[in-house]
Structure 1
Amino acid sequence: MNKLPYLQDYSGQSLDESISLHGSVQTYSINFAIERALDRQFGYEDSPLLTNYQRVILAVQNIEREVMNGGFNLFFLNSSSEFVRYVVDALQQIDCPKTAGLARRAIETLELSDLSGIAIREKIMKDNAVRKGILNELDQQFFKYEEHLDEKLFAWIKENRKHITLS
């Protein structure tokens, strides 16, 4: 099988130019370039200036990257925790109900009413064997990658392109 090349970084492409790369580079790398454009515009954390559409992209990209690299624990521990409060809705919006359910269950293990990044990072730093076991099980289910978040997010971006700006 001929593997498509990876788009190395965002270099000022418009959203339509980024979308037009589909089929010539890996889909995840297009999504990542769009994420990088948003990061450069708004910073790497949640911003009140983000639109709901931009926040969906960032929430999905953050959960996919962090969980695939170190499980839900890493998603909660890193700055990606800023997007925890949005991630279940974001996954539902891109038509990933199974993954949204996994995220919901992972968030429930935190037993927090305050889903701010600071509160989440403080909680996850406290060792809890029961939570760790549940998160490990959820990680294994996530790793099956049944809903192909990269393709679902790309399709959602393409469908909602008129609501998304990169600069």
Structure 2
Amino acid sequence: MSEIEKALLIKDETESILKIQEILWKKTELFDDFENLNEAEQTFLYVEILEAEINNGGFDQFFFNSSGDYATETLEALKRIGATKTAKLVEEAYSYFPENPIPKNNEKRREILENIDEQTSEKWTQLEDKFYLYEENIGSLVLDYVRKNINDFK
């Protein structure tokens, strides 16, 4: 039985997710280097990183940190796990970013964020409030995704 399969046996959803995260982070050389991960493993981490960033500091933080480098991939990851409502919300947040597609270059994004207008900030805050309502159980969806794609988790 693999470490991921053992993690899926943990009854507490949050603990199971944290264990899988720990396993996948060990596979990365740096915390934002996903080249050692396949698409399924990246999907898991993109979703979890988005959730952590939004819960900790909102869309501003998501875009400001290296997580913003993977904005496009994160949106695709949400769709891949079946989090369609959350994907629509995130897509709307992306639409308010002054430059689309969202730059992969962190410095460029930070420059843009320094000049963000109050209206955009307010729109992001409203979307964050919707995000916190958790219309979809993202944890459950991401664990179901792992179960369905267990052969891709090494």
Which band: TM-score by shorter chain? Answer: 0.7 to 0.9
User: Stretches of 4+ moved more than 2 A in 1?
Assistant: 46-50, 111-115, 119-127
Residue 32, structure 1, aligned to residue 21, structure 2:
no
For 2:111 and 2:33, the matched residues in 1 are separated by 18
Residues 77, 125 of structure 1: 8 Å contact kept? no
Q: Relative to structure 1, is the Cα distance of residues 64 and 148 closer, same or farther in structure 2, using a 3 angstrom cutoff?
A: same
Deviates more, 1:94-103 or 1:123-132: 123-132
Residues 32, 61 of structure 1: 8 Å contact kept? no
For 1:96 and 1:31, the matched residues in 2 are separated by 16
Q: Is there any run of 5+ residues in structure 1 with no aligned partner, and where? A: 1-12
For 2:117 and 2:39, the matched residues in 1 are separated by 33
Residue 100, structure 1, aligned to residue 87, structure 2:
yes
Give the C-alpha shift of residue 31 in structure 1: 1.4
Q: Show the counterpart of 1:160.
A: 149
1:25-63 CA-to-partner distances (Å, cap 9, x unmatched) read: 2x1232122122222221211433321111101110011
Query: Structure 1 or 2: larger helix share?
Result: 2
Residues 45, 79 of structure 1: 8 Å contact kept? yes
RMSD: 1.7
Q: Relative to structure 1, is the Cα distance of residues 55 and 122 closer, same or farther in structure 2, using a 3 angstrom cutoff?
A: farther
TM-score of the aligned structures, taking structure 2 as reference length: 0.88
Q: 1:77 aligns with which of 45, 56, 64?
A: 64
Over the matched positions of the two proteins, sequence identity in percent amounts to 23
